[in-house]
Structures are given as C-alpha cells and as structure tokens.
C-alpha cells in the first residue's frame, strides 16, 4: 500500500503542449529528494484538462523515467463511472503502480452511488486504487462507513482532504488495512498524529526534502524536527492556495527554472496580487 511523502505532480506545458522533458527532470529530482511516490494527471497536474492522448504520453513517460525506483500513481477521475474505468484501464495497461480516483464530482451521487462507483472501478482492474475524498471540489463527502465498505472490495488507500482529523482515528479503528494519506498539507502533522500513514502533497512540488523530512522524523519520534520543519513550511502552505491550485505552485516552479509558467484554460497564471503574496513568502530561505 502507498505511504510516506507522495507528490501530486504538476503537468508542465510549453506553448500549449505537454513538456515531457520537464516531466522527466521533475521525476529525477523527486527520486533524488527521497519522495516516496508520484501522482501524475491528478488535480495539481490539471488532469481534468488533459486529453486521453496527452495522458498516454504523460503516464508512459513517468513510468519509463521512474523505472520502478518510485511508484507512479495516475489520477483517473471522472464524474461518470464508465469514464473512470476507461482511465484506470489505460493506467494499468501502461504499467502504472496505482490509480487515484476521486468521488464523482458535479453529479452529487448518494453514498450508495459512491460505493457502486468504486466497486465497479476496483473490479475493473488489478492495480491498487486510492480513493480520493475531496468535498471542496466534488460537492460530496465520502462518509466513514462508505470508506469502510469500499475497503472490503480490495486493497485500497485513502487520500482525504477533509480537515476533520477525527476521521483518521475512526478509520484507523474501523479499517486498519487502509493506508490513510493526508490531502491537506497544512494539517499533515495532525493527520500523522491521529494515525495517518503519509500524504499526497502539493507543497512537495516545491520542497520535497522538507515534506519527506517531516514524514521521516515522525517515524523516528523526533518531534522537535517535525515541529521545526512544519513551521518552516507553514507560510508556503498558505500561499500555495491564494489562488486555485496549481496556479501558485506553477509560478514558483517557473521562477526556479523548472517549468514554464503555463496553465490550461480556464486556469490563468498567477495574478499580480497573488505574485506579491507568493514572493513575500518565497523570499524566505527554506
């Protein structure tokens, strides 16, 4: 099962085309930085704005570059179950190590509908599925009992962006076999304290070694390092969401010369006001 510091990787573009060379360089950097896993084509990777053929290129490039040194998990999210199955099937065919599947968005399914959605997806493949609960983007919250039921269908992990940390403790008790991953960088330490197994992180795009440092220090019981490192990241965690993700993180990575500052419409590059706030923080020596 997936655990540790997993980065929700951005998708670099150059003149409107996916920049595969930049993806290779980013993956090499994350391997060297000790990142425990990489999600491509997720929310931070503008996965909903990629064509099927672009996904094919990204997944193939990521799998080939990682070369089993680090797991590649593919965002396979759709509001239609049949489409989610199609995306998971693509990821499995291209030898991805797992798939990240968000609760169906926009259509507002019932909890029973969510159960059947994930049952169908899990039964369609043999790769591990990470269930993604993101009520802020999906307008539905996957209930604890629903997650427990889904866990009965096979090996699953959970990425949870619900900041109610009592969910972690309850899930640890009711479904101990599920790897629990924080989807909110700002509450990562609290998530670990409640029994979480790691994170799928936005801030790790910018500071992978520091996120890994928190996970490692927590495992060693080195609370001072956890607190100090978390404090260093606090302001950065905040400014990464002054505008919709991944607008701020792409601006920072472009300033560091790692990617071009390009996004897909309807997303636009960071505004002047956002840049001022980001620059005020990134001027700090992390």
- Report strand pairing: 13-14 vs 17-18: antiparallel
**Assigned token pair, 172:** 């640890």
* Nearest-angstrom CA–CA distance, 252 and 243: 13
**Assigned token pair, 60:** 């193939």
What is the length of the chain? 286
- Provide CB contacts within 8 A for 277, sequence distance 6+: 239, 242
3-state secondary structure of 10: coil
* Nearest-angstrom CA–CA distance, 51 and 86: 13
Catalytic residue numbers, as ranges? 132, 159
- In 3D, which of 190, 186, 125, 135 has the Cα closest to residue 156? 125
User: How far, in Å, are 16, 87, 103, 132 from residue 93 at the CA level?
Assistant: 26, 10, 23, 21
How many of the other CB atoms lie within 10 Å of CB of 271? 13
- In 3D, which of 2, 50, 22 has the Cα closest to residue 205? 22
* Residue carrying structure tokens 């672009």: 54
């Amino acid at each position: 099962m997936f655990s540790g510091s997993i980065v929700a990787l951005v998708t670099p573009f150059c003149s409107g085309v996916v920049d595969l060379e930049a993806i290779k360089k980013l993956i090499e950097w994350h391997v060297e930085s000790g990142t425990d896993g990489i999600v491509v084509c997720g929310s931070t990777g503008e996965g909903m704005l990629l064509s099927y053929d672009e996904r094919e290129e990204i997944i193939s490039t990521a799998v080939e570059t990682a070369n089993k040194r680090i797991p590649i998990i593919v965002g396979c999210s759709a509001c239609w179950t049949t489409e989610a199955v199609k995306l998971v099937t693509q990821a499995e065919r291209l030898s991805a190590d797992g798939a990240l599947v968000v609760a169906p968005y926009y259509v507002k399914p019932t909890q029973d509908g969510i159960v059947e959605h994930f049952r169908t997806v899990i039964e369609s493949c043999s790769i591990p599925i990470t269930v993604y609960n993101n009520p802020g983007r999906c307008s539905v919250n996957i209930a604890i009992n629903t997650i427990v039921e889904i866990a009965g269908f096979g090996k699953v992990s959970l990425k949870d962006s619900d900041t109610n940390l009592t969910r972690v403790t309850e899930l640890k008790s009711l479904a101990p076999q599920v790897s629990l991953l924080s989807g909110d960088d700002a509450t990562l330490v609290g998530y670990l304290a409640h029994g979480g197994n790691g994170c799928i992180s936005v801030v790790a795009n910018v500071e992978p070694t520091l996120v890994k440092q928190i996970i490692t220090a927590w495992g060693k019981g080195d609370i001072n390092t956890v607190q100090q490192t978390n404090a260093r990241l606090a302001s950065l965690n905040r400014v990464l969401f002054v505008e919709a993700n991944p607008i701020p993180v792409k601006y920072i990575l472009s300033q560091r010369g790692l990617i071009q500052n390009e996004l897909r419409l309807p997303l636009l590059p960071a505004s002047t006001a956002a840049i001022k706030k980001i620059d005020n923080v990134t001027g700090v020596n992390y």
